[in-house]
Amino acid sequence: MSVTFEAGERLAGDLGQQRGARPAAVPGACLSGRRGEIVAARPPAGRRKAAWRVVLVTVLVLALGFVVAQPRLVIRVLPRFAGLYAAAGMPVNLRGFAFEHVTARIEEAGGARFLVAEGVLRNVARRPGDAPRLRLTLVDASGAKVYSWTASTGVRALEPGDTAPFRARLAAPPPEARRVTVDFMADRQAGM
C-alpha cells in the first residue's frame, strides 16, 4: 500500500492510511479528540484500583501461604512469632527436643535442702542431635525471677525418637521461690 500526499498536507496517520480515511481499529487504543491521533487507552480509575486490589490480595495470600508452609524459617527470622504459631495450634520446635514428665521437689539430705528438677528429654526431630544445656529459672509468687542456673542433661546426643532422663539439683534454693521453669539455653549462650 502506498500513501500519496501533496506538499503542506499532513501524513494521514502513522499507519499508512489515505488522507481522510479513518484509522484502523487497534486493540487497546482510541482516538484522541484533538487531532485524530491514535493513543493507548487507559483503563478507568476504578479498574486500576480494582487491579491493584487483586495484586495486593494475591501477595497477601502468597505471604500467608509461605508463613503457614514454612514456620521454622519464619521463626528463625522472627522468633516472637513462635507464640502466634502456638496460639494457632501449630507449635514450632526449632531445637528438635521436647521435655516430658518434668517434676520439681524439695529434698533434704545431711541437714541441707536441695531443689531437684527432673524429667525426660526426647528428640522429636528427624535427625540425630546433640542434647542442649538446660536453663532453670525460679520465680516468686508475683512471677519475678528470683534465681537462674544452667545444667547439663548428661546426654551427648540422641537419635530421632530416643529419650533420656535428666536431673538438675540446686543447693539451698531461695525460700521465696514458688515455681521452677526448665528451658533450653539460647544458642548464643550455649557457646559461652
What kind of architecture, by CATH, is found in domain 97-190? Sandwich (2.60)
Q: Is the pLDDT of residue 17 over 70?
A: no
Domain boundaries, the chain: 24-92, 97-190
Higher-pLDDT residue of 27 and 181 is 181
CA atoms within 13 A on the CB side of 118: 11
Q: What is the pLDDT of residue 162?
A: 92
Q: Looking at the predicted structure, is the pLDDT value of residue 78 above 70?
A: yes
Q: pLDDT tens-digit profile of 87-140?
A: 888 878 778 888 899 999 999 988 899 999 999 999 988 889 888 889 999 999
Q: Check: CB of residue 124 under 8 Å from CB of residue 96.
A: yes
Say if CB 56 and CB 48 are below 8 A apart: no
